[in-house]
Amino acid sequence: MKKTKIAVFCSGGGTNLQALIDAQKSGVITDGQICLVLANAPSAYALTRAQAANIPTATVTKKQMGSQQAFEAEIERILQEYGIELIVLAGFMSILSESFTSKYKNRILNVHPSLIPSFCGKGFYGLHVHEAALAYGVKVTGATVHFVNEIPDGGQIILQRAVEVQEGDTPETLQRRVMEQAEWKILPEACQKVAREIAIQGEKYERI
Ligand code: GAR
């Protein structure tokens, strides 16, 4: 069966990208192939991880492109060039407009570091999510992989995993535990699930 062509979008460290690369090597992802890593900042360490794994990279910045519209048009052009069929947002800290997300309906996944609908939406990203969880005093948090639509963190949930908050946790220790126990596991699993469905259904694919 033909593998689904995947692009991973990143902004920073890229540990979730690394989990996807490792999952491809270890056989957790069998029906998809990461063909492109796209960053919205040239400093993203994710680019170095991609290069080390021989994956083509592209960098598109909003500043360089001048507007959201031009930024998204350039991304689209690159995606078409690579024949991308599935997009994975792995720590991509830029919100995509409805005009973009509607063109890739049920073909964009995002990993979010909380159990949606808690601690999500505008302003909740990266370490801020864990700061908010600790400030609220929740005893359980986790991660969610969902489809991306026009509502930030509002698309259909694909997988979730719970993680316990521990006495004395800082945002950093909690972030690390959520990554290790949840994100790095459910992101590759969800990616395989959707990649397989696209590979099976081909052009007819609508949703899982
Ligand atoms: C991850 O924890 C990811 O869930 C989060 O940013 C981190 C990126 O780390 N994403 C969001 O908060 C999106 N709303 P990484 O670059 O090491 O994968």
Residues annotated as part of the active site: 112
Q: Which range, of 39-43, 156-160, 174-178, 203-207, averages the lowest pLDDT?
A: 203-207
pLDDT of 207 above 90: no
**3 state SS for 151-165:** CCCCCCEEEEEEEEC
State which of 109, 118, 179 you would mutate to test the pocket of ligand 1, scoring each by most atoms of that ligand within 8 A of its C-beta.
179
Q: How confident is the model at residue 112 (pLDDT cuts 50, 70, 90)?
A: very high
The domain 4-204: what is its CATH number?
3.40.50.170
Percentage of the chain exceeding pLDDT 90: 98
- The tens digit of pLDDT for each residue in 150-176 reads 999 999 999 999 999 999 999 999 999
CB of 16 closer than 6 angstroms to any ligand 1 atom: yes
pTM to 2 decimals? 0.97
Residue 85 CA to ligand 1 center (angstroms) comes to 22
Q: At a CB cut-off of 8 Å and minimum separation 6, what does 155 contact?
A: 108, 110, 146, 147, 148, 149
The dihedral over CA atoms of 64, 66, 71, 73, expressed in degrees to the nearest 10, equals: -120
Q: How far is the CA of 64 from the centre of ligand 1 (A)?
A: 23
pLDDT at 42: 97
Query: With 90 as the cut, is the pLDDT of residue 208 above it?
Result: no
Determine contact, residues 46/55, Cβ cutoff 8 Å.
no
